[in-house]
Every structure is written in C-alpha cells, then in structure tokens.
Amino acid sequence: MRALVINCTLKTSPEPSNTEALARVVAQQLEAYGVRTDFVRAVDLDIKPGVTTDAGPGDAWPAVHEQLLRSEILVMASPTWLGRPSSLAQRVLERMDAMLSETDDQGRPVAYNRVAGVVVTGNEDGAHHVVSEIAGALGDIGYTIPGQAWTYWHLGPGAGPDYLDDERGHDWAHKTGRAMAANLHGVAKALQVTPLQTPPD
C-alpha cells in the first residue's frame, strides 16, 4: 500500500515547514503499518492554474497526478492563512477537479477506493474550517474520508509561535495524527476487500 502526502506550505525547500513536520507524524505511523509514504511539496513545483490533468508544456501536475493514481492513501497538508487553506491547497484541489471525469477500467471514478485525510497547522483560529473545506472537496472528487481522519496544531486565536518553535499541544496533535493514520489505513484495507463499485446510472 502507498500513501502520498501533498504539503501545501507556502515555504519553498529547504526552508523548514511546520506543516510537513506534523504530517511526518502521520507518515511515520502509516509506515509502521507497512505503507510506503511519499511527500510532495507543491510550492517547489510549477503547478499551472486550471482544472485539467495536463495544462501543457512545463506543467508539473501530470507527475503528481500519476502519484495520486499509484496511492491508496492521500494526506493533504495545509497551513492556515486568514482562517482558510493556503492558496496552494486550493490550486491542488482545482487540478484534482479533473479526476471527477476520469474513470478506471471498470468505469469507476479514479478516486474511488482511495482514502484521504487532512493535516493543518497555524497559529490562528480556523483549523476546523480548513479541515472541512479540504475534506469536503476530496469527498466530492470521490475519496472516502474516514472518521477523524485529520489532525491539527495551533495556539490561536491570534498570532503566536510556530509548531516547530513550541512544544505545547504536540502530544494531542501527535496522538490525533496517529489515530488519523490508523483510520486511513484501516478503511483503505477494508476497501481493498470490499471495493466500491461503478455508480448506477
């Protein structure tokens, strides 16, 4: 089984990413179940705007799309900015919109029988809103969203330290992240045994 973490931080590599640091807690637990986990930092790639799978020469999205199709588990990770997902998270979801019209060899939407969850960091209110926006979009695309398939960290409301600069709240965020990984893995295994079928006409 494979998992893909798409980190939608606004920080380019090699700058440390708070969002990636928390996402790696989830990845570590997935790997304990034998899941191979890959990371993509969207800001490092030239992902063109649009709602197609391939936006033409220079577009980095087709390679990410291929990784999505190789992965049974998706973790979308975003910082909170102004109480909302990052602009890169929105761009990734807009590119994933094309998956709504893509089907497998049995006529099922390509996101069927894949699970997804959300990781959020930030030092302001809005984490639950970010979770709901991203999880709702992924559900629209066809992903199965297990119960409590999310974790977040913030010390809001208002400005404050970053995740990597303050140990407060880590125990809760990490415990929730491990539960998230367990639920993602458990439902992904269940879907392998009893997959969703082609939607009726």
Ranges of residues in the chain whose predicted pLDDT is under 50: none
pTM recorded for the entire structure: 0.96
Check residue 160 and give its pLDDT: 78
Check residue 198 and give its pLDDT: 92
- What's the rounded Cα separation, in Å, for the pair 122 and 125? 8
Check residue 161 and give its pLDDT: 85
Tell me the backbone φ, ψ of residue 95, rounded to 5 degrees: -70, -35
